C-alpha cells in the first residue's frame, strides 16, 4: 500500500520536505504505525515533533486523512489515502 503524506507548519520544518509517499508491504496501517514508520525514516527532530518519549502521538498533533481530521492513533489507513500532519498554528 501507498499513502501520500503532506507536512504542514512545524512538522514541515522538522521533516525538511513538503510531502512524500509512505510505502508499506501490508494492506492497512494504523495511524500510530504510520507515524512510527515516518519517524524511522527521518532523523530528529521529526520523531520528537510527532511522538512523545513513549512513542505516543502528541495530543496536539493535527492529522487529516482524506480531508477529515482523525484523532485516534488506532485509525486505519489504506492504499491511496491522503494524509496531512501539522502542529496547530497560532498568531497573532
Partner 1 sequence: MTPSPPTPLPPFANPTSPIDDTDRATYQWQLWTPGFDEVSQARLKSATVLISRVGGLGSPVAYELAAAGVGHLILCHAGNLKHSDLNRQLLMTHDWIGRPRIESAARRLRDLNPRLEITAIPDNMSDANAERLITQADLVVDAAPLFEERLAMNDASVRLGKPVVECAMYEMQATLTTVIPGITPCLRCLVPEPPKPWKREFPVFGAVAGTVGCMGAMEAIKLLTGLGTPLAGRMLSMDLRTMQFRITDLGAPPSCPVCIAAHRTR
Between the alpha carbon of residue 78 and those of residues 9, 31, 46, 69, the distances in Å are 25, 10, 23, 16
In angstroms, the CA 77 to CA 44 distance is: 24
Q: Measured from the CB atom, is 21 or 92 closer to partner 1?
A: 92
| By the rule CB under 8 A, 30 interacts with partner 1 | no
In the complex, the smallest distance separating the C-beta of residue 22 from partner 1, rounded to whole angstroms, is: 18
| Among residues 8, 20, 32, 33, the one that binds partner 1 under rule CB under 8 A | 8
Taking CB under 8 A as the criterion, the residue among 27, 44, 54, 89 binding partner 1 is 89
Question: Cα separation of 18 and 77, whole Å?
Answer: 20
Is 68 one of the binding residues for partner 1 (CB under 8 A)?
yes
Amino acid at each position: 500500500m501507498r499513502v501520500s503524506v503532506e507536512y504542514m507548519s512545524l512538522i514541515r520544518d522538522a521533516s525538511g520536505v513538503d510531502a512524500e509517499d509512505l510505502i508499506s508491504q501490508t494492506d492497512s496501517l494504523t495511524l500510530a504505525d504510520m507515524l512510527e514508520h515516518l519517524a524511522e525514516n527521518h532523523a530528529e527532530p521529526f520523531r520528537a515533533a510527532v511522538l512523545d518519549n513513549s512513542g505516543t502521538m502528541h495530543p496536539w498533533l493535527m492529522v487529516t486523512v482524506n480531508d477529515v481530521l482523525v484523532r485516534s492513533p488506532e485509525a486505519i489507513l489504506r492504499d491511496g489515502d491522503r494524509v496531512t500532519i501539522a502542529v496547530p498554528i497560532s498568531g497573532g
